[in-house]
Every structure is written in C-alpha cells, then in structure tokens.
Structure 1
Amino acid sequence: MSKAKGNFVCNDELGICCPVDPASLFTAPKEKKPVEIYMFIDPLCPECWVLEPFVRKLQMEYSHYVTIKTFIGKGASAYTPASDKDVQKLIHEMAKSYNATACRTGMPCNGDVWHEQKITMPYTANLGIKAAELQGKAIGSKFLRRVREALFLKKKNIADKDTLIECAKFIDGMDVEEFMKDLDSDSPKIALESDERTTQEMEVSQLPTLIFFGEDVNEPGLKVEGHYPYEVYVQIIEELVGKPLKKCPPIPLQEFISFYSIVTEKEIAVLYDLSLDDVHREMKKLKLRQIVNEVPTRQGFLWQYKKVHNFKQTNSL
C-alpha cells in the first residue's frame, strides 16, 4: 500500500519513500541517511557538466539512501592567468576541452564561448552560486543549472554580474532583489571560503570528484575522481549500505522538464534509460502537445518547457 507523505509517496511493502517531483530531491532530510556524498565541481568544468545527469539519477532513484552536498572546488574558475600569453593558452585549452567533451559524451557544451566571451573573473560566478544557495538547496541547484546552461549552451559570460542576474530572473520562487544584495555581501565569500577549506581538507585535486561516506564515522570516505558508468556509483552505495538497494520509480518526465526548464537529450536518456532515438520520439510527442519547444544544437537537440520564453527568439536567459 502506498500513501502520500509531503512531496514523497511511501510504499509500505518496500519500506521506502520516493520523490514525486524534482523539488522534493532538495528537501532537508528529517533523519540521517546511510550515505552522504560530497560532490566537488567547478561551473566552468565540462566534465562536471557531464556528471550532472548521473547525480540527478542517483537522487531520483536512491534519495532514500543518499544525501548529496555540493562544494565549489578549485578549478579553472580559480585560475588567474599571469600574462596575455597565458590567457590565450587557457582560451585554446578550454575551448578544445569543451568541444572534445561534447563529442565524446553527447552533452552539449560549445567551446566557442571561450573565443566569443571575455570570462575574465569567473570567481564572480562562484559567488553567485553561493548567493543563490542562501535561498535554499532547490533554488541553489536551479541557479547552478541556469549558470551552466548560460555557459555551455548559450555561450554567455557567467563572469558578468548582469548574466548572473538574468539567470536568477528565470527561476521560479527566487527573490532576485535579495539575490542581488547577497551577491554584494560577505556571505557568499564566506561560504566559498568554507568550500575551499573542505576541498583542501579532503585533498581534492581533480574535478569532478565524489566522496562517498557511510555511517561508520571511523571509516574514511571513498574518493571517486572523474566520472564513471552509473552502475559504479550504485555499487558503491550498495556496499556502504550493506544490503541490496530498493530503487524508486522515475519522476514523470514532464515534471523533470518543468523543474529544470531546459534539458538535453543525453540527460533524458541517462535518467530514463532510453536510447537517444527513443528520447527524440518521446519529446516529439510532447512537442505536438505544445508542452516543449525543440532547440537544435551541434550535439543534438535541447528541449525547453514552453512556460519559458522561446530559446531561439531571445537573448535573455
């Protein structure tokens, strides 16, 4: 027998409560879960962007076992080139990395942004992410998502405050005025410094990195650098829990698209165990029902929830 419990549906036979919408994935747990994952990322890091659908899938299927904490690690956004020559080298390397990652993984990230924009102070983007988190985990997660979309998909300069404010304007429930005040305050700086201390204490030298902690506080965390097949993460959680895992059903696709506004075919394929062809067919059905808009990119299509302004007809975020 199943019964509703807040934003979750609890199955008495299985003994688990499963999320019914993406916002519930960011609800503060009332009880400690057996596994805690520290996720270290950089908003400029294409490999961190690739990890996104795997993390969302873990939250969707196994949120009753895991809590995920996000930390901004020291990556490209913390690097300040010393000379014009170093700047040109960084631009070349980052553009090449973006395009190679997109071709290898299918997650869109356009390296042209490094040639078209002057991302001079990416540290500002990190402050924006921390300022957004002051309004709650769900708002913080959606803002991080918007910043990544602006960079990887729309070739925007996320080091620019105006870009960050535009990202904030397109998040339901976000207090933009409060965000602007927080962005200029000491609070996000303090939060970012805390992230940096944790990064150093955990000896994180590569991004992305996930560190898995079990209930035994005497056992060190298991550090996983880079990204691996989804099954590897599930196996680690199962070993830490010490018994076979019970999996939640997927959140309805329309709910997922509505929450994040713009999604890639690759992440839908990962989250819902579909081939890219199957994803395209399903999204075409939603397009016919006028639920989404289709946005072509170099690496396939993006799908945009129709509540948001048309992606192709505006320069806004």
Structure 2
Amino acid sequence: MQRKKIYIIGVGGIGSRHLQALKAVKSPLEITAVDRSEESLCVAKDRFEAMPEGTVLHQIEYRANIPKGEKVAIAIIATTSSVRAALTKELLEKSEVKYLILEKLLFQKKNDYDRVGGLLESRKVKTWVNCNMRMVPFYRALKKEFQGQKITYILHGNQSGLLTDLTHHLDFIMFLTGAKNFSVRTGMLDKKTKASKRKGHLELTGTLHAEFDDGSVGLFRCDTAGATPKIIEILSHDRRYIIREPENKAFVSLSPEWQWEEVSATIPYQSQMTTLLVEGLLAKGICTLPSYEEASQSHLQALEPLRKFLNSISSKKYTSYPFT
C-alpha cells in the first residue's frame, strides 16, 4: 500500500499531540513534522517516540521548512494564529494538498479570513477547523437531546482565560441547536487584560454573554484568581446537564422527575482524536469538524466585538485580534 503524505506544521504545542496520534493510524504514512524551532522539533520527536508502536510502521521526517512540490493527503497547521495565514499561503504555493485542518483561533487579521478562504476555494482544498467538541462521542450524542431547543449554556472555571476555549464552545452551541449566528455582549468583561501563556498574545477574564439567533444563550466566565475546576452546564425546558470534564463524568436531570443521575463523560485526548480524524479522511474523506466557512463566520462574530472592547479599554488601538 502506498504511503500517504501527512504534514504537521507547528509541533511545539498541540501540534505535537496531533503528531503523537499519527503513530496509531492503521494506514502507512509518510509524515513530515515542520517547525522553525529546533527545541519544538526535539520535544515533538520525544513525544512521538514515547507513544506505543501501532500496527504499521510509519516514516517520519523533522525539518524547519515546508517541502516543495509534494502531493499531500492531509496537512494540519497547528501554529499560533499570528503566523497561520502566511503559512497556509506558503503551504499551498509549495504543495498540492487534498485535505487541510487548521487549528483555532484561525487568524489575527480580519481580511485574512476572506483571503485564505478564496485561496482554499481556488485550490479546491477541503478544509476544516479543529473545534473538536463535535468529535467527542459524549458531546455528539447530546445533539439529539437538544436539537431544536433553546438552551442556556454556561462555562465556568477556565483559569487559562476566556479565549482559550471560547471558539470551541460557541461552535458546539451552534452544533447542538442548529443556530447559525450570534452576537456577543462585552459589558461584563474585566477592564484589564492579561498576558497569554503564549508570548505576545492577550487573554481576557470576566463574563462574556452570547445570544444566538434561535434564542439560545451562552455565558462564559473566567476568574482572575482561584482554581475553580472547569464546569459546563447545559439547560433546556426539559433537561439539564452538568459536565465535569476533568473527572470524565456528568450529571443529568430530566423532566418531570428532575432526579440527578451520574453518567460517564469520557473526553478523549487530542492524541486520540486525531487518529480517528486522519483515518476517516484517508478512508472516506469524512470529517465531523466544522468547515472553514462555518468556523470563519463564528470566529469573526466573536472576535470583532472583542477587538472593539479592547479598543474601548486601552490607549492602544487594535486593528487585529491579539489572541491565539
């Protein structure tokens, strides 16, 4: 069987988890791990080699730049948002790519969303964005329960900042309810920003309020201090879920009795989910992540109001989104 070429571009953070997942893929792969940081390449190599051997032995190369003139089955770009648009353009200029997965947040400049979208369309590259709650079996099963219902969705306790997971949850609400658009209110955000754990980027704290076109509401809360565990609540007129991801469990209460029942809520690691993602694309071209078009729209509906909020509290005037 001919080896399929897979690129992972940016392997210093979550990219190394995508790379780990490839070791378990059952089809023979020719993997290229790309990162300009020698340290990141070393970390990625150590993590890849620490994974158990799969049923197939893959070929792998570590390098600082994107190769030229290759036909790539799947590319995953897992860099920070500040360089992702430029690297997407570079990749598509150098290689022929069939399927592309982009990490979120997508890009920092508004005009990059249309520019990259046009490039993907002209090159006929099927592209998805890694808002991966849709891939988790426990979360996918909730769609049948909440389909067509107005919900209240509450996220609390993410100590690393609001922006870290915000796009995941906004996308998931739309997946559950079928809503297509939303607006956000920034009046309850803290007036002081914080430095992101990724150098050169910002994070926000406080409460963000989102209203969806089907009447659903999302509330996202991040405190500036403490260590409150991450908890998700999803409520409708006839059911309520409390999900405690760190413990892989949830509590459900249904009308009319409203008795609480504990259920398993296993959340796979990215190093597990990417295995299934790659195998699905190679076998059938199937991907359950949101499309580039869907994710671009939801990104901008959140990021533009947040940029305006930054400008309202800062002497610096932002023309881009300093988040990742």
Which has a greater percent of strand? 2
| Greater relative contact order (CA < 8 Å, ≥ 6 in sequence) | 1
Which has a greater percent of helix? 1
TM-score, length-scaled by structure 2:
0.25
